[in-house]
Amino acid sequence: MKQFFLIALSLPLLVAAQNKVKTKPATTTKKTTVQQTKPVDGFLINGDITGFADGTSIALLNGQTGAPESESTIHKNKFTFKGKVASPDFKIILINKQPPYITLFLDNSAVNITGAKETIESVAVTGSSSNTDYVEFNRYIQPYQALFAENAAADSTAALSALQAIDNFIQQHPASYITPLAIIRSNQLVEDAGKMEARYSKLNNLVRATPMGTYLEQQIAEAKKNAVGTLLPDFTQPDTTGTLVSLSSLRGKYVLIDFWASWCRPCRQENPNVVANYNKFKDKNFTVLGVSLDKAKPAWVDAIKMDGLSWAHVSDLKGWNNSVAQQFGIFSIPQNFLIGPDGKIVAKNLRGPALEKKLNSLLK
């Protein structure tokens, strides 16, 4: 199972309403007061949100893990958070321990948040230059939100326009702490490890050292391993009867190579989706090859039967030390490769609606 994923990656599409709010400039007096109370080298968040009862809980959460970093209560519509961030990063403000929530990109600044309970997702956030860039980036991609939805329909014309908008932001904000997010978003539209790495190389060291910069570096490393467009090397392992099966024996078909295990809950939850797509496309030159990271053969075989996985399955029953997993650098599951009839990788890690969407585009 994946050990990390930035919660914040989904936030720009969830809080687009923030972009539509025009914030009134703070008065000179108010700014002076905030600056006097702001911790040295830290941040101060002053909130004023109407509609919540006194004593309502409010928490500042880590944008990557969702873990609380500071907790308080609302009193006479107001709340305060003080602290320090090592580098600008996504944060989530959760009120009364339930969504909807407030998102912001926080740096060590004096930040004001104003709004109302009825429109909590569109509160005004001012004072953080990084959050200003975040809101501006949202405006750039606002017209193209549908492209990033999990079940988005293919739209090459809109994708090109979105890529141009994102490129414009990247070019105009070369030192912004939001630029790594823009690079990741661009790669979501068109996977290009080379372009992603070239853009990353232009980021300064401070931006690279942020959590988002680190995540981008990991994404580049992942994309460069068995990159889309490269020939996936052949491999051979025994199936459930002990008969050796080679990937090359399936050459000429589109093949989804699915890394999974009977003990992997996310894998088992994804299996019905793979079954549905296998049944839909198996007569259109498509098949699946399951590679299990199980150790116990009975559990592996039982899971295949229980989940109705009626395609070829192989495993050397060495768990995480499975030789094929080692060969392709698989350190988390579920993972998959979709290869074309020529054996070259067409796409990676297609799950949920993304799998059907890709197969529909290839197998018309």
- In tens, the pLDDT along 66-102 reads 899 999 999 999 999 999 999 898 899 999 999 999 9
Mean pLDDT to the nearest integer, 312-329: 95
Return the CATH fold of 236-362: Glutaredoxin (3.40.30)
pLDDT score at 147: 83
Nearest CA to 60 out of 85, 35, 39 is that of: 85
- In tens, the pLDDT along 24-57 reads 333 333 333 334 455 568 999 999 999 999 999 9
Q: Looking at the whole model, is its pTM more than 0.85?
A: no
Crossing angle of helices 129-141 and 179-189, rounded to 10°: 20
DSSP β-bridge partners for residue 116: 50
pLDDT score at 226: 82
Task: For residue 159, give Cα distances in angstroms to 194, 312, 355.
Answer: 19, 36, 18
Cα separation, 227 vs 346, whole angstroms = 9
What is the pairing mode between strands 124-126 and 43-50?
Answer: unpaired
> pLDDT-based confidence at 154, cuts 50/70/90?
low
pLDDT score at 17: 30
Task: For residue 129, give Cα distances in angstroms to 45, 148, 215, 315.
Answer: 14, 25, 21, 52
What CATH number belongs to 14-127? 2.60.40.10
Question: Reading across the β-sheet that carries 124-126, which strands appear in turn?
Answer: 78-83, 43-50, 110-116, 124-126
Check pLDDT > 50 for residue 338. yes
- ∠ CA 203-208-214, rounded to 5°: 135
Check pLDDT > 50 for residue 240. yes
69: number of CA atoms within 13 Å, CB side? Answer: 18
Neighbour-count burial for 326-360, b at 16+ CB within 10 Å, e otherwise = eebebeebbbbbbbbeebebbbbebeeeebbbbbe
Cα separation, 140 vs 168, whole angstroms = 9
